């Protein structure tokens, strides 16, 4: 699977938001790209003042990998009406991907998020999150 670059993700999401029939799907894909959660994991989320989100299945708030994406994609302002329902929105995204209207796959965007999160996390933070890795001795040269 080819990982989409950040620039490609941004371009694709802006392209979707320019299509009236795909605006809501573009918003959902932007949420997936920004927070690294599947559409179903995002169901029932709530916003925090710092642009992190609370997800019912998580104890801690989920922070955006790229905080500027919250503003660039206007995620708070363009959030679809709750009247449409979350499950229909998820089905609509999957359908648009199947039809080729959206060229990014959810799986590719999630994998790209996971890879970048590891890359962007400072080494000190990674050793706190994974203490067993920080205790491994270095191999002799």
Question: 90 in helix, strand or coil?
Answer: helix
pLDDT tens, position by position, 71-130: 999 999 999 988 789 999 999 999 999 998 888 999 999 999 999 888 877 665 555 555
pLDDT tens, position by position, 31-80: 999 999 999 999 999 999 999 999 998 999 999 999 999 999 999 999 99
Q: Is the dihedral of CA 110, 116, 119, 123 positive or negative?
A: negative
pLDDT, position 113? 92
Distance CA 54, CA 72 (A): 20
Q: Is the dihedral of CA 105, 88, 67, 17 positive or negative?
A: positive
Distance CA 9, CA 41 (A): 20
Give pTM, 2 decimals.
0.82
């Amino acid at each position: 699977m080819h990982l989409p670059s950040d620039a490609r993700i941004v371009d694709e999401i802006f392209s979707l938001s320019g299509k009236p029939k795909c605006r809501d799907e573009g918003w959902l894909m932007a949420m997936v790209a920004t927070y690294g959660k599947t559409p179903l994991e995002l169901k029932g989320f709530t916003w925090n003042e710092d642009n992190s989100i609370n997800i019912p299945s998580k104890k801690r708030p989920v922070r955006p990998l790229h905080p500027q994406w919250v503003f660039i994609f206007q995620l708070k302002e363009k959030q679809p009406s709750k009247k449409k329902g979350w499950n229909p929105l998820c089905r609509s995204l999957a359908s648009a991907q199947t039809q080729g209207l959206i060229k990014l796959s959810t799986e590719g965007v999630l994998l790209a998020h996971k890879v970048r999160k590891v890359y962007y996390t400072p080494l000190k933070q990674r050793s706190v999150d994974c203490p067993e890795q920080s205790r491994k001795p270095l191999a002799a040269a």
